């Protein structure tokens, strides 16, 4: 048994890619996309025709609609390959606009439905700002399931649980990056690996809180830098993993040491934890107090915006 197979005993494995040709070999249950992954995919020769065809078909429509149609087209192709759900992201430029996020999310769902895809197979990805979480709360009430992304702090997770969102994607690698950069020459890679990795610790605390208080929101660890971070979260509800790391896991045998479950609902239940409630003011203050989460959330929104603009530029070239 390889490590990927061993991991699947405890955790639902999700592929983090827009490259749907890669999916079959790893047999993930679900898949996630984001603007950066779609941008990466459409620059490959095998996917350029898909984008050109979509742009040509809808060239008289607004740019934001063409963008959504490209995202849904990729999502539909992915859903032809996997048995589960695909996550499709709302434009990062709407991260602080609740109403606009809801409108775009509803259009994405309508486009999926028009393609014959059931709503249950789609998660709308939204940045875990206060406005994004509020949009997700309303969307969930309307039967549209959400995946709250760019999640770096415990307060973001608490607010998402309160909003009864379907799933959260707490980031591991970007938290690790921040603390490693802050420590500089003082960083001890061996001491800060595995269960001691700050990104791993963040996801573990969120998982334990959710399971202790029977919060139904699914926890999907994301943004990994190495397989050690992934294996240290075995037992998490889901883990979304880039194809390069899926390949590494599939090439590594779990022997001689069998992979053990690192996160367990039973262990979460016996912990002494306090239930937290956050209103908007408390959420904003808690996030502000967390320098890492504040910086990484802003940086993530900016990076996704840059890649969305690049994708729009490619769409315009295709239309010319």
What is the per-residue pLDDT across 198-225, written as a single tens digit (0 to 9) for each?
Answer: 999 999 999 999 999 999 999 999 999 9
| CATH H-level, domain 3-319: superfamily | Aldolase class I (3.20.20.70)
Res. 49: pLDDT tops 80:
yes
- Angle of helix 98-114 relative to helix 63-79, nearest 10 degrees, comes to 50
Dump pLDDT digits (tens) for 290-299.
Answer: 999 999 999 9
Q: Residue range 73-90: average pLDDT? A: 96
Question: Is 256 a residue whose pLDDT tops 60?
Answer: no
Does the active-site annotation cover 269?
Answer: no
Q: pLDDT grade, residue 254 (50/70/90)? A: low
In the set 8, 40, 44, 125, the catalytic residue is 125
Place of tokens 């937290």: 276
CB atoms closer than 10 angstroms to residue 245: 19
Position 320 confidence tier, pLDDT thresholds 50, 70, 90? confident
Q: What is the pLDDT of residues 117-174, one digit of tens each?
A: 999 999 999 999 999 999 999 999 999 999 999 999 999 999 999 999 999 999 999 9
pLDDT cut 90: percent of the chain above it: 93
**Domain range list for the chain:** 3-319
CB atoms under 10 Å from CB of 137, counted, come to 17
């Amino acid at each position: 048994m390889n490590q990927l197979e061993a991991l699947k005993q405890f955790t639902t494995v999700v592929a983090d890619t827009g490259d749907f040709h890669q999916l079959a070999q790893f047999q993930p249950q679900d898949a996630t996309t984001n603007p950066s992954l779609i941008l990466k995919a459409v620059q490959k020769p095998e996917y350029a025709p898909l984008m050109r065809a979509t742009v040509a078909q809808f060239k008289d429509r607004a740019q934001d609609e063409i963008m959504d149609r490209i995202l849904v087209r990729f999502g539909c192709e992915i859903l032809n390959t996997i048995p589960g759900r695909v996550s499709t992201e709302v434009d990062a430029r709407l991260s602080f606009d609740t109403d606009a996020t809801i409108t775009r999310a509803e259009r994405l769902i309508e486009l999926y439905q028009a393609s014959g895809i059931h709503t249950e197979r789609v998660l709308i990805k939204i940045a875990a700002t206060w406005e994004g979480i509020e949009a997700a709360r309303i969307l969930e009430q309307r039967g549209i399931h959400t995946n709250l992304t760019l999640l770096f702090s415990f307060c973001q997770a608490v607010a998402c649980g309160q909003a009864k969102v379907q799933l959260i994607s707490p980031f591991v690698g970007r938290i690790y990056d921040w603390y490693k950069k802050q420590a500089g020459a003082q960083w001890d890679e061996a001491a800060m690996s595995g269960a001691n990795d700050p990104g791993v610790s963040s996801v573990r605390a969120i998982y334990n809180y959710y399971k202790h208080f029977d919060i139904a929101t699914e926890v999907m660890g994301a943004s990994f830098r190495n397989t050690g971070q992934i294996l240290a979260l075995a037992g998490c509800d889901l883990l979304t993993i880039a194809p390069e790391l899926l390949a590494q896991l599939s090439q590594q045998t779990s022997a001689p040491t069998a992979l053990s479950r690192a996160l367990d609902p039973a262990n979460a239940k016996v912990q002494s934890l306090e239930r937290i409630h956050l209103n908007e003011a408390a959420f904003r203050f808690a996030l502000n107090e967390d320098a890492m989460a504040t910086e990484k959330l802003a940086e993530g929104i900016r990076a996704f915006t840059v890649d969305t603009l690049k994708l729009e530029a490619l769409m315009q070239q295709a239309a010319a």
